[in-house]
Structure 1
Amino acid sequence: MNRKLSFADRHERVGHLVGAMGPAFRRSNILMQTAIDRGIFPGAVLMVASVEEVLLHRAYGMADLFCRQPMMLDTVFDLASLTKPLATTLAVMKWVEQGRLDLDYPCQTFLPWFGGRGKNTITIRHLLSHTSGLPAWRPYYLRLHHVSPLRRRTVLQQWVGAEALGNRPGQRCEYSDIGFMVLQWILEQMSGQPLHRLAEALLWRPLGIDSLFFIDLSGQSPQHFYAATEFCPWRAALLKGRVHDDNAFTLGGVAGHAGLFGCADGVMRLLRGLLSADLGKSEHALFKRDTIHAIFQRQSNGRFALGFDTPDEKDSSAGCRFSSHAVGHLGYTGTSFWLDRRKGVIVLLLTNRVHPTRYNNTIRAFRPKLHDAVMADVLGD
């Protein structure tokens, strides 16, 4: 985190645009301020970049309504399900690249308890592409928080092992948190390390990124400016620097489906590194170009690539101006990114839309409008 930024610098940085008409990102800024005024979210950081440069980095609104904390460029967000592509998926694919894993290995190879009730044919590819047949979600936390913390992992694995499949593996796509819990357990079983340590060593440290991290609840939260999420009734607390996802919380804050925290700069540095590798523009990329192509390739029987979403043909959150070659992901707390491989543009939107309550869903209609406005501002049309 850069603590030497001035107050003004911590609210806005705008790069150079070629061919833009009028003030840079005029349409995007109007939409963002309107969203704040209408209560779509209390605050946000919007960042737009190409491989070569950051085009826009701007903060809006409030990070915490109760203490009137303004949003800053270096505010840290609970990234929610961005954990799936940016931590779990990339760690798995790093090991695939190194020959330590095969995408088509049955998961039972690594987790013998996982083979019951038709799950013996589920592969790592099925989990990454959300075609395993596992349920989307279960409120495990309702029972799990009554279990001793030292036994929660074992007990949860028993429950997951007993889950029935909704579909035959590979038959259809159903987004699943549970599948990414299983991927975490495979990584940890093989490495002997917790996911947050493994991801740091494999992904973020080689890129020099210190602003992406999990918060292990057995210790203290790192000292940062955090965006508040919601007041959680069963935890009786306003969540700030504590993971919002209930299942991830009962697992100690580190999970394969949620738990990653970060500021916009850290997320964008990682995304720009991936785009650079995809375009063959980096000699020191985190991944080989062929690996990135494999990650970003849409899989059969669904809209997902490996851990990354791709635009729907209708009503995509990416809007209408991202190409069919784009990849992205959404997070429940109000986070999202879309990376257009053909146009070379990345749009990152981090908001605290669940602050102070999760029941504000108006961001769904806002996201495509914003993405259309950003692409119009970038392309100058």
Structure 2
Amino acid sequence: MKTTIYILVGLFINSVFSQGGASVKLDIIPKDALVRADPSSAGLDYTYLHTKVDSILTIGIRKEAFPGAVVLVAKQGEIIFEEAYGYHTYDSIQPTAKDDLFDLASVTKVAGALPAIMKLVDEGKLDLDKPFSTYWQRWQKVKDKKDITLREILAHQSGLEPYIIFLNEVIKKNGTLKHRFVKTEPNNRFRHQAYDGLYIKDRFNRKMYRMIDRSKVSEEKKYKYSGLTFLIFPELIEQLTGDSYEYYLEKNFYLPLGVPTMGFGPSTKTFTNAIVPTEQDTIFRHTLTQGWVHDENASLLGGVSGNAGLFATAADLAKLMQMYMQYGIYDGKRYFSENTVKEFSSVQYPENENRRGLGFDKPLLGNDTLQLKDAYPAPEVSAQSFGHSGFTGTFVWADPENQLVYIFLSNRVYPSRDHQNIYDLNIRSAVQQVFYQAGRAKH
């Protein structure tokens, strides 16, 4: 096991010793950063792990759940498993590599928008229980939205519509693009690049906001997943901080965490990492989508959004999830208060049969009583665990009780989103469960 290093970070009132009536306390924070180790150091059986995971992934690839995947697991602060499987596409030309970049899809919600929201809550710039219209003021005049709280929004308890297909606004009935919204060359009003040779009008986001304003809100307050406000959050973050959304994330999280591959628009950067393709798009881009965000709504925002758009390697994602699992600390730096992370990662409305935390997904209520085929995620994860999944076949999960971080990256939407076997075979939960059973298998 690695040695935990401690660093002195502050002095404050009410200490173990006092001077002249005043007391001072040393606040010690563990310097916990991921290291690589053999599975045996975490009490897990190497042969069992590889045999089981290889079997599940081989079946998944053979049944075309995905052409390739990367699995990474950290246990007790040590990366004890990191393997790549299959190929980028079913032609078996380019093998998947451990340092490949994947389109994270909705994992962006907890890796992009959510850390910014959490920090702003920590700083008192956002209040979970005030109406969201306090900050997003255009909703103050929208009758069915003016009283919705940020807590309700993040727990998917607000009644907002799940999704609006904004692509319908830029494509004519004959399938051609509306040139007032999309052009093939950039200019000073069309600077948001959606793909090679596709540029979106800078102010198209205003049209999206107006359509969200007009969208219906269910009168019944119950769990209904909605990603609409995650399209709004980047603009809100910029208003509250004075920084662009992308810069705010890099400055406050990605650079200090040391996660260089995590970011938007990898095709515009100089990474040597290969970028895994997603879907063979027949509607909008009419080509293989690779290096640009797959999600059409995020694409219409120039690929920088709160609902989708991030790319990363498994190893960089693991650092972020390890920080969350350690309740806001990584490598001696505190990113959020412990209370904030615990609040966001706790079930908010169990009385309404809503399993969700704030932004984070949680296990099904009663998950530990279910068989693997019915569970979400693996039935042996703790009730304190949390994470998120992505439409492209991605999945991240942190379990503080068991000190386990699980990363699963794949491109299940290749060659089309019709491929559903990753769900039908419950592959991501099945692989996750292996790491909970491996300790018992060793004995």
The TM-score, its normalising length taken from structure 2, stands at: 0.77
- Select the residue among 302, 315, 325 that pairs with 1:252: 302
Q: Is 2:168 the counterpart of 1:120?
A: no
Q: Is 2:81 the counterpart of 1:60?
A: no
Distance 1:22 1:232, change over 3 A: closer
Give, in angstroms, the shift of residue 73 of structure 1: 0.6
Tell me, in whole angstroms, the C-alpha distance in 1 between the residues paired with 2:287 and 2:233.
30
Q: Is 2:38 the counterpart of 1:44?
A: no
Give, in angstroms, the shift of residue 184 of structure 1: 2.7
Match of 2:407 in 1: 348
Give, in angstroms, the shift of residue 222 of structure 1: 4.3
- Match of 1:328, SS state, is strand
Distance 1:356 1:158, change over 3 A: same
Match of 1:202 in 2: 252
For residues 266-325 of structure 1, give each alpha carbon's deviation from its aligned partner in whole angstroms, at most 9, with x where no partner exists: 1001111221236x7864232221221112111114211111000113533312111222
Alignment length (residue pairs): 364
Match of 1:165 in 2: 217
Distance 1:347 1:166, change over 3 A: same
Match of 1:140 in 2: 166
Distance 1:245 1:239, change over 3 A: same
Q: Where do 1:7-26 residues align within 5 Å?
A: 15-17=38-40, 18-21=42-45, 23-25=47-49, 26=51
Tell me, in whole angstroms, the C-alpha distance in 1 between the residues paired with 2:330 and 2:208.
43
Match of 2:419 in 1: 360
Give, in angstroms, the shift of residue 221 of structure 1: 4.8
Give, in angstroms, the shift of residue 378 of structure 1: 4.6
Match of 1:152 in 2: 204
Contact 2:257 2:330 in 1 (8 A): no
Tell me, in whole angstroms, the C-alpha distance in 2 between the residues paired with 1:378 and 1:215.
40
Q: Is 2:44 the counterpart of 1:30?
A: no
Match of 2:196 in 1: none
Tell me, in whole angstroms, the C-alpha distance in 2 between the residues paired with 1:93 and 1:353.
30
Deviates more, 1:282-291 or 1:127-136: 282-291
- Match of 1:56, SS state, is strand
Tell me, in whole angstroms, the C-alpha distance in 1 between the residues paired with 2:204 and 2:139.
17
Match of 2:432 in 1: 371
- 1:41 is matched by which residue type in structure 2? F
Q: Where does structure 2 lack aligned partners over 5 or more consecutive residues?
A: 1-35, 172-177, 182-200, 368-373
Deviates more, 1:222-231 or 1:254-263: 222-231
Deviates more, 1:109-118 or 1:233-242: 109-118
- 1:155 is matched by which residue type in structure 2? K
Tell me, in whole angstroms, the C-alpha distance in 2 between the residues paired with 1:186 and 1:106.
14
Contact 1:44 1:71 in 2 (8 A): yes
- Match of 1:121, SS state, is coil
Distance 1:221 1:139, change over 3 A: farther
- Select the residue among 358, 378, 382 that pairs with 1:306: 358
Tell me, in whole angstroms, the C-alpha distance in 1 between the residues paired with 2:330 and 2:85.
32
Give, in angstroms, the shift of residue 220 of structure 1: 2.4
Contact 1:144 1:152 in 2 (8 A): no
Q: Where does structure 1 lack aligned partners over 5 or more consecutive residues?
A: 1-12
Tell me, in whole angstroms, the C-alpha distance in 2 between the residues paired with 1:348 and 1:167.
37
Give, in angstroms, the shift of residue 166 of structure 1: 1.8
Give, in angstroms, the shift of residue 188 of structure 1: 2.3
Contact 1:128 1:180 in 2 (8 A): no
Deviates more, 1:310-319 or 1:200-209: 310-319
- 2:122 is matched by which residue type in structure 1? E
- 2:165 is matched by which residue type in structure 1? P
- 2:151 is matched by which residue type in structure 1? R
- Match of 1:70, SS state, is coil
Match of 1:9 in 2: none
Give, in angstroms, the shift of residue 20 of structure 1: 3.3
Tell me, in whole angstroms, the C-alpha distance in 1 between the residues paired with 2:46 and 2:114.
40
Alignment root-mean-square deviation, CA: 2.1
Tell me, in whole angstroms, the C-alpha distance in 1 between the residues paired with 2:116 and 2:109.
10
Contact 2:63 2:421 in 1 (8 A): no
- 1:20 is matched by which residue type in structure 2? L
Tell me, in whole angstroms, the C-alpha distance in 2 between the residues paired with 1:182 and 1:105.
17
Report which of the two structures shows the higher radius of gyration computed on alpha carbons: 2
Give, in angstroms, the shift of residue 24 of structure 1: 4.9
The TM-score, its normalising length taken from structure 1, stands at: 0.89
